[in-house]
Structure 1
Amino acid sequence: MDLNRVQMFAQVVEQGSFTKAAKALGITKATVSRKIAELEADAGVQLLFRTTRALKLTEAGANYYHRVHGILADLQNAEDQLSASQETIKGHLKIICPIELGQLYFGRVLAKFLTAYPHITIEAELTNRKVDVITEGIDILFQITEKPNETLQTYILLNTPKVLMASPEYLSQNGTPQIPEDLNQHQCIRLSTPYVDNSWSLFNGEKWLTVEPKSRLETNNITLVREAAIEGLGIATVPMVIGSEAIKNGSLVAVLQDYPMKQSVVTMSMPQRVYLPRKYRVFTEFLYQHLFEKWQDLIIEVPDYIQRPS
């Protein structure tokens, strides 16, 4: 049995096309198409209906996929178990991280980790786009979000409260809002991201109030939002993990602090696995060591195999 073409068939089914399957596997579309044709020829049965618009499983193809899907999952678990027992820790990690979090924190952490584990390589993408962990073969996904992904193994690392901020110059020229409704008289700098509710909702002690102040700048990058606020463009909603230094040095001032906004959290997610590959384990252990050093009392969820410092 050629397991490569079985895996290709499963990828075609899961991705919905030869092109996407080829991209996920890192090979050419022609190779995938040829291997599936060979699989059908050797089996003497058609597995897929091919049209110009879509692929559809035949009845035989559906039965075959149902069986091989479980077998491939067992093989992956066996490989993970083998990986967990190897003495020399090696492998490749594909990591996705929000741009701002990566710029502020992960550069040095990843460099130190790779120095400690010279047989591991990392491909780190800093992005705020929507990510499909399984389809794209992502090992670890970091997010700033309000809704942790329940389909993955997810750990909530930190709360990161959102706070309304503006420069002292902007407030001196335009006044300081005293109640949420006052925001309608101000310019705002709006963040637009796929993971977070970007509406301006504040709690007045009894109920949530949503305001929609006018905005001349909308972006998907929170660092740009922060810098535009520092320049006096308007009032911005900034997570404290991104805006705390600006608050400390006085370039931004928090406003309406008696009216809290909905919190976001920093999460770490990875595919659900029966056995945790050793490269995953050493990376998460190393990461948590640095998290404990920086935010020991603020860490929310910790994997079972990591012990909190006393």
Structure 2
Amino acid sequence: MGIFVKVVNEGSFSAAARASSLTPSAVSKQVGRLEDRLGARLFNRTTRHLSLTEVGRGFYDRCCQILVDVEEAEDAVANLHAAPRGTLKLNVPVAFGRLWITGLIPEFMQRYPEIKLDLNLHDRFVDLLSEGYDLAVRIGDLEDSSLIARKLAANRRVVCASPTYLEKHGSPKKPSDLENHDCLIYASRAFRNDWRLDGPDGEETVHVNGAVETNNPEVIMDLIGQDMGIGLLPLWLVGPAIKAGKISEILPDYHVPDSAIYAIYPPGRHLSPKVRVFVDFMVEKFNLPENNFI
């Protein structure tokens, strides 16, 4: 099949022979054997011209795809055994990166010393293909995309406040009670003033308001700690403070619809080793019992 495709691409038996380091007669014999096995003529031959038959054109298209598949299958096997190396350019949201990624870097680099990590922390939406990123971590619902997404962990969000705030202002008993409280608004959410909560009576949407609005969830957490109001935050951010008793989860019978944390990367027949090992490493670490806030 490879010789047949080479003849078509080069335009003649002699040119294909030169490109393949074979003699013209050897190329002709290979094509003849292929025609005999198929029971069909692939070329129309004259002394001056070589052209594909109708059968040959259809066979050529299939051969091209088969040869590509074979090459990629061999590359995939080779990549599984190849040591991951090269620069891995990664984009991660700021707060999540600081809390959950940077602390894992030393172990990752120790495991894979031939990888160089180019870690970019910012919250803007990046175009992986045009900006040259190998991988990004994204949190929440994903837009329809040609990118490949692998779930790393759930992204559970909770309604919470400081114990002192709740002592002063009372603890909400139902979602509608939030309308009478100072709520800290996360400006980066599409429906920032509308909090959706699932409870015993189904899903409810509460329109909340407050004196402070910010695009940084860590700021909201800090303000909650200063008794400034009620926030809606992901458990990966606020979980340790809840466990320590510094912040209280409220409305425990109501749950914000869960989203997820994803690793996303450009599509391809197989992952490059550096991307594959990083994603596998993150899945491993995020699913350890001690990291149950993710």
Q: Which residue of 1 aligns with 2:229?
A: 234
Determine the C-alpha separation between the residues in 1 that align with 2:250 and 2:189.
25
Q: Which residue of 1 aligns with 2:239?
A: 244
Name structure 2 gaps, 5 residues minimum.
Answer: 1-68
Question: Is structure 2 residue 132 aligned with structure 1 residue 137?
Answer: yes
Letter in 1 for 2:137: F
**Equivalent residues in 2 for 1:1-310, closer than 5 Å:** 84=79, 87-147=82-142, 150-193=145-188, 199-294=194-289
Determine the C-alpha separation between the residues in 1 that align with 2:86 and 2:190.
30
* TM-aligned CA deviation for residue 130 of structure 1: 1.4
* TM-aligned CA deviation for residue 297 of structure 1: 9.1
Asked if the contact 1:146/1:196 (under 8 Å) is kept, the reply is: no
Render the CA deviation track for 1:45-102: whole Å, top value 9, x for unaligned.
Answer: xxxxxxxxxxxxxxxxxxxxxxxxxxxxx9xx79x76982774431111111111211
Asked if the contact 1:128/1:220 (under 8 Å) is kept, the reply is: no
Indicate the SS of the match to 1:121: strand
Count of paired positions: 225
Determine the C-alpha separation between the residues in 1 that align with 2:118 and 2:77.
23
* TM-aligned CA deviation for residue 289 of structure 1: 3.0
Letter in 1 for 2:282: L
Asked if the contact 1:83/1:277 (under 8 Å) is kept, the reply is: no
Residues 295 and 159 (structure 1), Cα distance of their counterparts in 2 relative to 1, 3 Å cut: farther
Residues 119 and 194 (structure 1), Cα distance of their counterparts in 2 relative to 1, 3 Å cut: farther
Render the CA deviation track for 1:89-143: whole Å, top value 9, x for unaligned.
Answer: 3111111111121111111222221122222111111121112122211111111
Indicate the SS of the match to 1:104: helix
Determine the C-alpha separation between the residues in 2 that align with 1:87 and 1:208.
50
Determine the C-alpha separation between the residues in 1 that align with 2:131 and 2:278.
20
Render the CA deviation track for 1:239-284: whole Å, top value 9, x for unaligned.
Answer: 1111111111111111111121121211111110113211112222
Indicate the SS of the match to 1:188: coil
Q: CA RMSD in A?
A: 3.0
Determine the C-alpha separation between the residues in 2 that align with 1:185 and 1:164.
15
Name structure 1 gaps, 5 residues minimum.
Answer: 1-73, 300-310
* TM-aligned CA deviation for residue 293 of structure 1: 3.0
* TM-aligned CA deviation for residue 287 of structure 1: 2.6
Indicate the SS of the match to 2:197: strand
Determine the C-alpha separation between the residues in 2 that align with 1:85 and 1:156.
21
Over the matched positions of the two proteins, sequence identity in percent amounts to: 29
Range 248-257 or range 273-282, more displaced:
273-282
* TM-aligned CA deviation for residue 175 of structure 1: 1.0
